[in-house]
Structure 1
Amino acid sequence: MAEAYPWQDELWQQMAGRKQHAHAYLLHGPAGIGKRALAERLMAHLLCQRPSAANACGECKSCLLLKAGSHPDNYILEPEEADKAIKVDQVRDLVGFVVQTAQMGGRKVVLIEPVEAMNVNAANALLKSLEEPSGDTVLLLVSHQTSRLLPTIKSRCQQQACPLPSEAMSLAWLATALPDCSPEERVELLTLAAGSPLAALKLQKQGVREQRGLVVEGVKQLLKQQKSPSQLAEEWKSIPQLLLFDWFCDWSSLILRYQLTQDEQGLGLTDMRKVIQYLAQKSGQSKVLAIQDWILAQRQKVMSKANLNPALLLEALLVQWVSLPGQK
């Protein structure tokens, strides 16, 4: 059974307690807050033959089949490969499932995650099933970025925002999940994960603090002209590109913020504060705005899985970064 997270308690009681359900829900919110787990928990509840107010029973035939991954009235649609698109042929197979009669005489439940992974053709192929699913079918769509969805997809679903937990609740959960980390390390991980506790846990498993240390040291060496952009691009090739662009986007925002406010409390994590302050003092605001616009544009391309040369893209970023301090 999917994990129940404490910050979802109120939302779960609201959704599980409904006597009638919408034909399609769009569960949306930041990545790393447990939307997939919530969808799986609701899926089990909707399919269960003896559900309680709190959960699926876990013991009926339906629950046992779902646990075994062989429930005939359950369909999960996701990319065939990690970080790839959901193809139109996959959606056509799903449509074939939706028009069938439920084999166990109850509901059919479909889970799609992430729904923004569908390309335009795949999304259009889903529209009729979203608008008029046959029989008692419930579609659960999970989205981390609703801005990437077609308006026609969003308009056919009951949209449900999923809560980002408070910092205190996130840190309390991380204390249990990461008992070997110090409180300071957990705060740092949560900050790097933009407040999403599950994302913080994932980053820890990926070795993000070691990766961050390598990048911060490299940025300092770049500004001191101890290493070239091409050298650092080679050294950083194993670090996820989206993570790098997230950090540089954050740093450019902090530079601008400091230029406007001179607030030393708003310089971000301690590892880059002196660098941020130095670049804010030595860089022209127009240059910082220009590089931020460029970073955001390239980050969008990385997120959309555009066919890019990672080494050249990273080198281009570092060439612009090292040119920040100088004539304003």
Structure 2
Amino acid sequence: MVECLPWHRDTWARIAGREQHAHAYLLHGPAGIGKRQFAERLVALLLCHSPMSGEPCGHCKSCSLLAAGTHPDHYIVQPEEVDKAIRVDQIRALVEFVVQTSQLGRRKVILLEPAEAMNLNAANALLKSLEEPSGDTVILMITHQLSRLLPTIKSRCVQQRCPTPNTDDAIAWLDAQLPDCSFEQCRALLALVGGSPLRAATLFQQGGLEQRSAVVEGLKKLLKQQASPSQLAESWNAIGLGLIFDWCYDWMQAVLRYQMTHDETELGADDMAKVVQYLADKSSTSKVLALQDWLLSNRQKILAKANLNRALLLEALLVQWAMLPRAR
């Protein structure tokens, strides 16, 4: 059975204890806090023939089929390729599933993630099923970016925010999951991902600390004119665009904060503190603001799965970064 994460126990107790469930739930919150695990537990509970004390029994025919991945009344919708959109034909197939009769005589449950990956046509195609679901069907949707969903989608669901753990709970969980990760590394990972423990675990397993170090060292070399934008862009092929843009945006925010306050406690993580201070002292605020706006605009395109030329985008970022201390 899927683990109930410690920081979700109160929320789980409220949802699982309902006598009657909504036809559609929208689970939202930052990525990496366990929304998928929460949804999968709820799928198991909703399909279970003999739930006990707000938990799926784990032994009935329905639970066995679900565990085997062959439950006929469970349907999953997600992008067919990583970082691609959920297309309208996928939603049409979902609608066909909704109007079918349950094969095990109970409800049908659909899990859709991430909801913000639906393109406009796909989201509009889902509205009818959300408004008038056929039979005893429950649609569970997960979103990491609630603001990107159509108001008409949000208004047709029971919205449930999934809580983010406090730092102590997150570190305790990470320590249990990652025995090779030190306390200092756990804390650093959480700082890099905004406190989301599952993202921190994934980042560690994918070499995120090493990737961060490569980006930091690369940017330092760029400022010293020891590396060119094209060289760095090529050397960062294995690092996610989202991570690079998140880190660079955070550093620009730190530059702006220091320019306004000269408070050295606001320089951010130690690995870039000196660079942030140097850029704050040597760069014009207008250029920093312009780069911050550019980062934010292109970060939104990355999140929206736009078809971007990775090499050109990184080179454009690095050229602007290299020009900052020359911009006064």
User: Would you call these one fold, judging by a TM-score over 0.5?
Assistant: yes
Question: TM-score range, shorter-chain basis?
Answer: over 0.9
Shift of 1:247: 0.7
Q: Which residue of 2 aligns with 1:175?
A: 175
Residue aligned with 1:323, SS:
helix
The TM-score, its normalising length taken from structure 2, stands at 0.98
Give the AA of the match of 1:74: H
Q: Residues 87-166 of structure 1: matches in 2 within 5 Å?
A: 87-166=87-166
The AA in structure 1 aligned to 2:82 is A
Which amino acid in the other structure matches residue 175 of structure 2? Answer: A
- Write the deviation string for residues 90-132 of structure 1: whole angstroms up to 9, x where unpaired: 1111101111121212111111011111111111111010011
Please tell me the residue identity of whatever aligns with 2:48.
C
Counterparts of 1:305 and 1:327 in 2: how far apart (Å)? 32
Measured in 2, the distance between the counterparts of 1:322 and 1:108 equals 55
- Correspondence 1:39-54 to 2 at 5 A: 39-54=39-54
Q: Does 2:39 align with 1:35? A: no
* Deviation at residue 305 of structure 1 after TM alignment: 2.0
SS at match of 1:324: helix
Render the CA deviation track for 1:215-271: whole Å, top value 9, x for unaligned: 111111111111111111111122111111111011001111111122211211110
Using the aligned pairs only, state the percent identity: 65
Query: What is the CA–CA distance in structure 1 between the aligned matches of 2:172 and 2:26, rounded to whole Å?
Result: 28
- CA deviation vs aligned residue, 1:20-45 (integer Å, no higher than 9, x gap): 11110000000000001100100100
- Aligned counterpart, 2:272: 272
Does the CA contact (< 8 Å) of 2:279 and 2:324 recur in 1? yes
Structure 1: which amino acid aligns with 2:255?
A: I
Aligned amino acid, residue 299 of structure 1: R
Mean Cα displacement is larger for which, 27-36 or 84-93? 84-93
The aligned length equals 328
CA offsets, 1:270-290, max 9 Å, x none? 100000011111111111111
Q: What is the CA–CA distance in structure 1 between the aligned matches of 2:53 and 2:136, rounded to whole Å?
A: 20
Query: Partner of 2:308 in structure 1?
Result: 308
Q: Secondary structure at the match of 1:26?
A: strand
SS, match of residue 49 in structure 1 = coil
Q: Is the 8 A contact 2:31 2:196 kept in 1?
A: yes
Map 1:182-221 → 2, pairs under 5 A: 182-221=182-221
CA shift digits 1:65-109 (9 cap, x unpaired): 111111111111111112111111111111011111212121111
2:70 and 2:220 mapped to 1: Cα distance?
54
Aligned match of 1:25: 25
Match of 2:230 in 1: 230
Structure-2 separation of matches of 1:171 and 1:34: 15
- 1:63 deviates by 0.6
Rounded to whole Å, the distance in 2 between the matches of 1:203 and 1:105 is 42
Query: C-alpha distance in 1, partners of 2:306/2:114?
Result: 18
1:223 and 1:81 mapped to 2: Cα distance?
37
Query: Offset of 1:327 from its aligned partner?
Result: 4.4
How far 1:54 sits from its partner (Å)?
Answer: 3.8
SS at match of 1:110: strand
Where does structure 1 differ by over 4 angstroms across 4 or more consecutive aligned residues? none
Whether the 8 Å CA contact 2:287–2:327 is kept in 1: the answer is no
Cα distance, 1:161 vs structure 2: 0.5
Alpha-carbon distance in 1 for matches of 2:220, 2:293: 22
Structure 2 unpaired stretches of 5+: none
Task: Give the secondary-structure state (helix, strand or coil) at the position aligned to 2:253.
Answer: helix
Give the aligned partner of residue 262 of structure 1: 262
